[in-house]
Structures are given as structure tokens and as C-alpha cells.
Amino acid sequence: MRSMRKGRWLLRLAAGPDDLLAAQRLRWLCFVGDRTEAQDSLALDADALDAVCQHVLIEDTRSGQLVACFRLLHLTSGTDIDRSYSAQYYNLSALRDFPAPMVELGRFCVHPAHSDPDILRLAWAALTQHVDAAGVELLFGCSSFLGTDATQHEDAFAMLLERHIAPKRWLPRVKAPEVFRFARLLRRPDPRRAMAAMPPLLRTYLMMGGWVSDHAVMDRQLGTMHVFTGVEIKAIPPGRARALRQLAG
């Protein structure tokens, strides 16, 4: 992945241990730190997959501050799906038959003090360039909703059920001990409330023709609930694909 700039933001690959530590610190701040009064300057969000992933950083060129990061896990095909982070929480046996290269996009976060939409645009521009260059045919990951009260997100889940459930041939099955099976919802969604409740990353996936699992996994430790999310690159609507490639320059 090549370095890219948009306005004041610079996207680049992590270059060493210090960059990885900075990413792990930002992840802790975004996933844990905003829910606790303790502000431990040494606290990190880290796991064993960090050692085998590519880490992508987005920095403020004015201050040098890290404002966003994510990691990429490359898989040669679905035969490697059990190596993914998502496979810890979902039964992904159906995806073992996926015949082409895949990338798991994980631990995506943006510093809570920054909301410039150009940060997300830069991330997707770089991902588009990377997916095309590497011949990736499936981009996937977990998309998180804040909180573990499913009733707060029922319109969003009802919309996912109505319009965005994964094709049966790829549908993830339940594996985690605590899930919300929104496939059992009987209500119709309010589209305005549904889209307002949809996490920004998931919203972007859906605009590209993405699909989700039929259940959400409860993560009590992080205080979130997430859905498995996939985007088949060949299925991205042509207009959306052109717009992404224009972003990628």
C-alpha cells in the first residue's frame, strides 16, 4: 500500500514497533478509554494477530498526531478463513469455499476528537487502491454498534434483515455464546432512524453492496455488539466502484 494524502491527513503503513505501539494506544483509547475514568498512558489494545497484520496509520500533518488506524490480514482464499479475527466469533465454515484472495479489515478506529469525513474517505481510497493491486475479491470484518442493548438499534437491525443479509452460500452461523438473533425481528424498519443508527464503517460497506450476518455478537468487555460484514468486490455497483477509484487517484 502506498502513502496517500488528502488535505491535512497522511495515510501510510506502520514502519516499526513505535508505529504499532501508537496504533495499539489509539485503539485502546477508542475502544476502551472513552468508557472509563482511568486514563492509563501505557494502556494498549493488542492481540496475537497484530504480529501478522499490516497496520495502516492516518496522521495529522500539522501536528503529527495519529488520528486513525486499521489493520489488514491477507488470506489466500477461504481455506485460510479460520485464521481471521472474525472466526473467533462466527462460524465461517461456509466461506471456506471462497475461491479467491480475501482481506480482513480490522480494529478500524478514529480518534474521538476528530470527525473530518476526509479521514474515512482517505481510508477507503487507500483500501480501493490496495484491493485492486492485490487482486482481492472479498473484503470482510466486524462492524460494531455502541452498547449492548439491542433495543436501541432495532431499526438498524430490522433494515439489515430486510435488505442486507449475506447470501445463503456465505452466511455465517452462530458461534459466540451470547448473540442477538435479529433474524427473528418481526418489525419493519424506519429508514431514517435505521440509517442514523448505522455505524459509519458499516454504512460505507452497505453502500458498496455489502452484506452481514443474521445475528450480532455481544462483546461485554468492549461494551459493543458487532455483525460480520462482507463486500464482494465484483458485486460493488459500477457507479460506486468508479467513485472509489476516483478517490484512489
Between CA 227 and CA 17 the distance in angstroms is 31
Q: Which of 48, 58, 51, 54 is nearest to 71 (CA)?
A: 54
Between CA 49 and CA 84 the distance in angstroms is 8
- Any domain includes 106: yes
Burial track 11-46 (b if 16+ CB lie within 10 A, e otherwise):
bbebeeeebbebbbbbbbbbbbbeeeeeeeeebbbb
For residue range 189-235, list pLDDT tens digits in order.
999 999 988 998 899 999 999 999 999 999 998 889 999 999 999 99
Q: How far is CA 16 from CA 21, 29, 56, in A?
A: 9, 20, 12
Spans of the chain, pLDDT less than 70: 34-41
Cβ proximity of 143 and 227 under 8 Å: yes
- Any domain includes 30: no
- Any domain includes 50: no
**Number of domains observed in the structure of the chain:** 1
Residue 48 is predicted with a pLDDT of 96
Residue 37 is predicted with a pLDDT of 53
- Any domain includes 183: yes
Domain that holds residue 101: 71-248
- Any domain includes 239: yes
- Any domain includes 181: yes
Residue 186 is predicted with a pLDDT of 85
Between CA 147 and CA 64 the distance in angstroms is 31
Which of helix, strand or coil describes residue 238?
helix
- Any domain includes 211: yes
- Any domain includes 180: yes
